[in-house]
Chain A
Amino acid sequence: MTQDVMLLSIILLLVPMLSFLINIFFGDKLGRLSGIVGTTILGIDLGLAIVVAFTKLVSHADLFIIQNKIEWFNIGSIKIVVGFGVDNIAAIMLVVVTLISFLVHLFSTVYMEGDRRFPKFFAYLGLFTFSMLGIVLANNFLIMYIFWELVGISSYLLIGFWYEKKSASDASKKAFITNRIGDLGFFIGIMILFMTYGSFMFEDVFAGISSGLMPFNSSTMLTLAGIGIFMGAMGKSAQWPLHVWLPDAMEGPTPVSALIHAATMVAAGVYLVAKVFAMFTADALTFIAIIGTITAFIPATIALTQTDFKKVLAYSTVSQLGFMIMSMGVGGYTNGFFHLVTHAWFKAGLFLASGSVIHAMHHAMHHMKDHHSDPQDINNMGGLKHTMPWTYRTFLVVTLALSGIPLTSGFLSKDGILAGTLAYANLTGGWHWIIPIMGFASAGMTAFYMFRLTIVAFHGEPKTEIAKHTHENKAQIVLPLVILTVLSFWFFYSPNPIDASKGWFHASVTQPQTAVPAAYQWDFLISEKAAPAASQHLSESSHGETGQIAEAGSHSTGHYLNKLQEETHHFHLLAMILSLLIAGTGIAFAFAIYQFKVISADNLEARFKALHNFSLQKWFFDELYKATVIAGILGISKALSWFDTYVVDGIVNASAYLTRGYGKFVGLFDNIVIDGAVNLTANTTGYLGSKIRKIQTGQVQSYVVFVLLGLLIILYFFI
């Protein structure tokens, strides 16, 4: 039975690759059909994912992970063991990835219509889905890293899909290079762990840590390994200070933004942190929490003033990813992952809705023969509520979800996160209170900028002729919006609309026991009965051949709650009231400024000119990097170039000159002495030859004479 699940998972992984191969090799022949082919294949994949997830979550809930292990190759005595596995979070991620990928495929069949490289787009989408599923199914660092890079390359291809545009090709390079910085840390982290524990498998590494073995006998190295691996997550999940690539990545087609840069790939970092959660020490978790908090806060302030529809959503995505990471960092594992899933639905919905708007704007511009206006600028929109009713309705619901309004999934998850931060601050005290404060502030700003966007783009009178001429899109575009909107309601996760902790999601996604020894871990993350459980947790079950692992406490949630979870419970009501108040305030401000114009936006802008400019210019991060990193590298390059030109080239030229002089001398020696000797030999031989050849008369009889002379000599020799 578990074998079947593994088999299905492998098929599930390979099916999108089929879509890639078909579309990349036969795309030109298929033409418009390639969209249908890609969508159908993803539909099948979605069906498989649902079967796998259902089997895992319902029939095999008692198993921590269903996995297989294969000995890939040996280096000397080191065996490289790899494999794939499905645990609960992987099962949920499988459905998230395939469903959003399927909807994006469906959406793109209309959105990308008429594009020159239409089949290639679906090929890249297939490649991306394949790589993303690889990350989800990996049960070891090696496979994870391989697919991590594959995701990076497919993201690069898709951001730069319209590479004729310089901004698009620049953005793709920026995304790739920024990700490389994070991946370097990831690689170092993996290597530290591999050197110490001799295995890439998660379970082996965790077992090694819980046995008390430390990399280089130092808990600091374990923290560093954790931070290194977290750096990979920082790159992929666009955490401050590596967040700069994600807003630029909006140069890619909008469905790509929805799939990759909102729902799945950027969540891979959070997923990675969740997968290896057990190995983070208290210090590493603090680092993660701080990074997450900063990432939640700064992009939220930037999003306040942006006028590009997709840029607002992009900064909102970065901010929400910061929320997830922050939650992980404070130990709120379940809520962080919960937010990942709910965010995936409503952010994909938001992006697809923005795609719908942009598509409609494009059509209107095309209709009016206007090629200069920006179809993504919200100041060109307005009044879309009437021309695009379905897009508006769905957009409104997912905006409510993102703002954290009750009855939506976003409320459940964000509330859990904020309660977690409060509990964390209460348990640790001191400066840690900054984390919940910034979290609440970001939540309020989220509500504000999302409603600003909704009001400016959809409410009021059309600000341009273009906005007037927009109209609703085809069913292939609207249907994915509706599905994603429905998934943003609370009832999918918990019957109780204000508390998710009794729902199936929290029952399935339980916080794993930390593997780190108690000396290096927050005491509130270690549950009372952890000591016996920790050893059981990683022991091989009797199904040794398939290597399944049963986690002792996974099916009896509630008994092993650690202190943080209990504390989170206590803070739940407070967090709910606070977040509602703050979100309500944000929404009220948005309505006051943009809908009813009670407060003048221009007036505010004038009064806080410096702050406004700071936000509009994105805290000058790009300029800062240009001034420091890029200028620094250029300076070093210049210095190296000078060194090369004058010192290295000088040495090279000098040695070349000497070599040439020596060469000339050797040449003379060759010409006179060696050639002379050779020629002398040749001439002597030639002269002798010209004399001796006269013996060869060509007459048989003269030869006979010589034979006779020889005969005589022999005769006299013997006599």
Chain B
Amino acid sequence: MDLVTIAFYFFGALTIIFGAVVVFSKNIMYSAFSLLFTFFGIAGLYVLLNADFLAITQIMIYIGGILVLIIFGVMLTTRITGVDVKSGTMGKFQLATTGILTTVIAITLLIVFSSTKWYLKEVPAVESTVNDIGNKLLTNYLLAFEAASMLLLIAIVGAAFIARKK
């Protein structure tokens, strides 16, 4: 077992275990903080996949931005002192049905992924992807890039508009 394999299993376990905690935890604050570790695990996996820029982005945007946003949302909509901080779930029947359904989906996906003959192309690992991503974004994907910036602007304005006090 080389170091990369060990790192993979570590980050994979981190991601899945904390992902499960996010989903199954009754306390919404636990869920939020578990999500932090999940994102961290995913960032690790990115590193293992030679995606250094995306790993940094994952940490900065998900953990520094979205997660903080979610925690703010939790605090703004829930009386922390009360029992309501716990997030309720459905009845047993629904839970069971959903469990079966998602399990079936998971198993189906696993079978599909493992049974498919993927076309693989082995290439040496590169130093950094930042240059390439920069070039691509400002050449081939310039329109999409600009559209994304417009989307973000609209999202900011829309969010501010929707959330304002009437």
Chain A residues within 8 Å of B, Cβ to Cβ: 701, 705, 708-709, 711-712, 715-716, 719
Contact = CB atoms under 8 A, between A and B. Distances in A.
Nearest to A718: B112
A719 B105 contact: no
Interface string B98-118: 100110110010001000000
B105 A711 contact: yes
Interface in B76-114: 90, 97-98, 101-102, 104-105, 108, 112
B112 A708 contact: no
Given A712-B108, A715-B108, 6 more contacts: A701-B90, A705-B98, A709-B101, A711-B105, A712-B101, A719-B112
Interface of B: 90, 97-98, 101-102, 104-105, 108, 112
A706 to B, nearest CB: 11
Contacts of B97: 705
Contacts of A716: 108
Nearest to A702: B94
Contact of B101 (A708, A715, A719): A708
A712 B104 contact: yes
A715 B98 contact: no
A712 B105 contact: yes
Contacts of B105: 708, 711-712
Contacts of B108: 712, 715-716
A507 to B, nearest CB: 104
A705 B101 contact: yes
A714 to B, nearest CB: 11
Nearest to B104: A712
A709 B104 CA distance: 10
A701 B94 CA distance: 11
Contacts of B98: 705
A705 B108 CA distance: 16
B20 to A, nearest CB: 19
A719 B111 CA distance: 10
Nearest to B98: A705
17 contacts: A701-B90, A705-B97, A705-B98, A705-B101, A708-B101, A708-B102, A708-B105, A709-B101, A711-B105, A712-B101, A712-B104, A712-B105, A712-B108, A715-B108, A715-B112, A716-B108, A719-B112
A6 B108 CA distance: 106
Contacts of A715: 108, 112
Contacts of B112: 715, 719
A705 B102 CA distance: 10
Contacts of A712: 101, 104-105, 108
A502 B108 CA distance: 133
Contacts of B102: 708
Contacts of A709: 101
Contacts of B90: 701
A712 B105 CA distance: 7
A94 to B, nearest CB: 89
A718 to B, nearest CB: 9
List of 7 A-B pairs having minimum Cβ-Cβ separation, nearest first: A715-B108, A708-B101, A712-B105, A708-B105, A719-B112, A712-B104, A705-B101
B90 to A, nearest CB: 8
